[in-house]
Amino acid sequence: MLPSLLTRDIQAGLKQYLLTAYEPSDPFFSGIMSRFLDRDGSWLKGPYLQLGLPFRPGTKGRNFFKLFETTYKGFTHQEAAWSRLTSEGTPANTLVATGTGSGKTESFLYPILDYCARENA
């Protein structure tokens, strides 16, 4: 498929979604989304802003697990996941939803390493 055609199709689908999802039903604001989307150059260009807020540090530092130290100090969301997933108790289903680069992978890998260390000991 040609990239230009694919881009056009994505833009058309996005326009349709925005109209369907965000067009106000209030008579005063009726058509505001349509008018905004009719100006092709205005709704697809920046500036875009992304803020990377710091994650809250945990309280245990690198010593959360008894048989090994973690490479870095854990964040609060990691320590909460580790508490639910540790092999000391009964592990519970856990969902970690947080920003990019916050250590979601480590939230699940360190409890596996903890289990392996316990089995090896």
Q: Do 95 and 111 lie in a common domain?
A: yes
The residue segments making up the domain with residue 96 are 51-121
* DSSP structure string for 21-65: HH---SGGGTTHHHHHHHSHHHHS--------PPPPB-SSTT-SS
Model confidence at 19, pLDDT cuts 50, 70, 90, reads confident
pTM: 0.57
Task: Quote the percentage of the chain above a pLDDT of 70.
Answer: 93
Q: Do 36 and 90 lie in a common domain?
A: no
Asked if the peptide bond before residue 24 counts as cis, ω within 30 degrees of 0, the response is no
Q: Do 29 and 55 lie in a common domain?
A: no
Q: Do 99 and 64 lie in a common domain?
A: yes
- pLDDT over 70 at 102, yes or no: yes
Q: Do 66 and 97 lie in a common domain?
A: yes
Q: Do 35 and 69 lie in a common domain?
A: no
- Residue 35 contacts residue 15 (beta carbons within 8 Å): no
Q: Do 81 and 37 lie in a common domain?
A: no
- pLDDT tens profile 39-68: 877 777 766 666 667 889 999 999 999 999
Question: Nearest CA to 66 among 119, 121, 114, 120?
Answer: 114
